Amino acid sequence: MFSTTKNDALYLNGDWVSGDEVRQQNVMACQALANVVRTSLGPVGLDKFLVDDIGDVTVTNDGATILSLLDVQHPAGKILVDLAQQQDREVGDGTTSVVVFATELLRRANDLVKNNLHPTTIITGYRLALKEGMLFIQQVLSVASDSLGKDALVNIAKTSMSSKIIGADDEFFSHMVVDAMLAVKTQNNRGETKYPVKAVNILKAHGKSASESMLVKGYALNCTVASQAMKKYIKGAKIACLDMNLQKVRMNLGVNVKIDDPDQLEAIRKREFDMVAEQVQKIIKAGANVVFTTKAIDDMVMKMFVEAGVMAVRRAKREDLRRIAKATGATLISTMSNLNGDEVFEASSLGNAEEVEQIRIGDNECILVRGTKVHSSASIILRGSNEYMLDEMERSMFDALSVVKRTLESGQVVPGGGAVEAGLSMFLETFSTSLSSREQEAIAAFANALLVIPKTLTVNAAKDSSDLVAKLRSYHAASMLAGPTDEKRRNYRYYGLDLINGKCVNQLQSGVIEPTMSKIRAFKAAVEACVSILRIDTMIKVHPDPPKEDPHDH
Instruction: Go through 136-158 and write b for each residue having 16 or more CB atoms within 10 A of its CB, e for each that does not.
Output: bbeeebbbebeebeeebbbbbbb
* 175-186 residue pLDDT tens: 899 988 888 888
Average pLDDT rounded to a whole number, residues 253-261:
70
* Pairing, β 364-372 against β 57-60: unpaired
**How far is residue 23's CA from residue 17's CA, in Å, rounded to a whole number?**
9
The arithmetic mean of pLDDT across residues 158-165, rounded, is 84
Most confident stretch, 2-6, 89-93, 114-118, 126-130: 126-130
| pLDDT for residue 253 | 61
Give the pLDDT mean for 84-92. 83
pLDDT score of 123 more than 60: yes
Residue 233's DSSP bridge partners are 357
**Residue 399 catalytic?**
yes
User: What residues form DSSP beta bridges with 216?
Assistant: 379
Q: Summarize pLDDT for 497-533 with one digit per residue, the tens.
A: 988 888 889 888 888 888 888 889 889 999 999 999 8
Over residues 288-340, the pLDDT tens digits come to: 899 999 988 888 888 888 998 999 999 988 888 888 888 888 888 888 877 77
pLDDT at 250: 67
The whole-number average pLDDT for the span 84-97 is: 84
Cα 260 off chain centre by = 62
pLDDT at 448: 93
Q: What percent of the chain has pLDDT over 70?
A: 94
pLDDT in tens, 368-422: 888 888 777 888 988 888 888 888 888 889 888 988 988 888 888 899 888 999 9
Percent of the chain scored above 90 by pLDDT?
A: 14
Q: Predicted confidence band at 126 (pLDDT cuts at 50, 70, 90)? A: very high
Q: Which ranges of 368-464 does DSSP label H, i.e. alpha helix? A: 387-410, 419-433, 439-450, 452-460
Closest CA to 215 of 203, 198, 224: 203
Instruction: Work out the number of other CB atoms within 10 angstroms of the CB of residue 502.
Output: 14
What's residue 2's pLDDT? 37
Residue 420 is predicted with a pLDDT of: 92
* Mean pLDDT within 217-225: 85
Tens digits of per-residue pLDDT, 183-203?
Answer: 888 877 777 788 888 888 888
Q: What are phi and psi of 19, to 5 degrees?
A: 70, -140
Give the active site residue among 88, 170, 399, 498: 399
What is the pLDDT at residue 550? 66
Beta strands per DSSP E along 33-171: 48-51, 57-60, 143-144
CA separation for the pair 375, 397 (Å, rounded): 22
pLDDT of residue 12: 64
Respond yes or no: is residue 498 known to be catalytic.
no
Distance from C-alpha of 453 to C-alpha of 74, rounded to nearest angstrom: 25
Give the residue with greater pLDDT, 273 vs 66: 66
Residue 7, pLDDT above cutoff 60: no
Q: Are strands 332-333 and 233-242 parallel, antiparallel or unpaired?
A: parallel
| pLDDT higher than 60, residue 426 | yes
Q: Which of 95, 159, 372, 516 is catalytic?
A: 95
pTM metric for this prediction: 0.80
Task: Name all domains of the chain by residue range, CATH numbers in brackets.
Answer: 218-375 (3.50.7.10)
Query: How many residues are there in the chain?
Result: 554
**Rounded distance, CA 297 to CA 451, Å?**
60
10-24, 99-113, 176-190, 218-232: which is most confident:
99-113
Mean pLDDT of 193-216: 84
464 counts as catalytic: no
pLDDT for 209 beyond 70: yes
User: What pLDDT does 223 receive?
Assistant: 86
Query: Cβ–Cβ contacts within 10 Å for residue 498, how many?
Result: 19
**What is the C-alpha to C-alpha distance for residues 359 and 356, in angstroms, rounded to an integer?**
10
Average pLDDT of the residues of the chain: 84
Q: Is the pLDDT of residue 74 over 70?
A: yes
CB atoms within 10 A of CB 399: 24
62 included as an active-site residue: yes
* Residue of 58, 60, 96, 456 marked catalytic: 96
The pLDDT of 449-454, averaged and rounded, is 92
Q: For 167, list phi and psi in degrees, rounded to 5.
A: -60, -30
In the prediction, which pLDDT does 8 show? Answer: 35
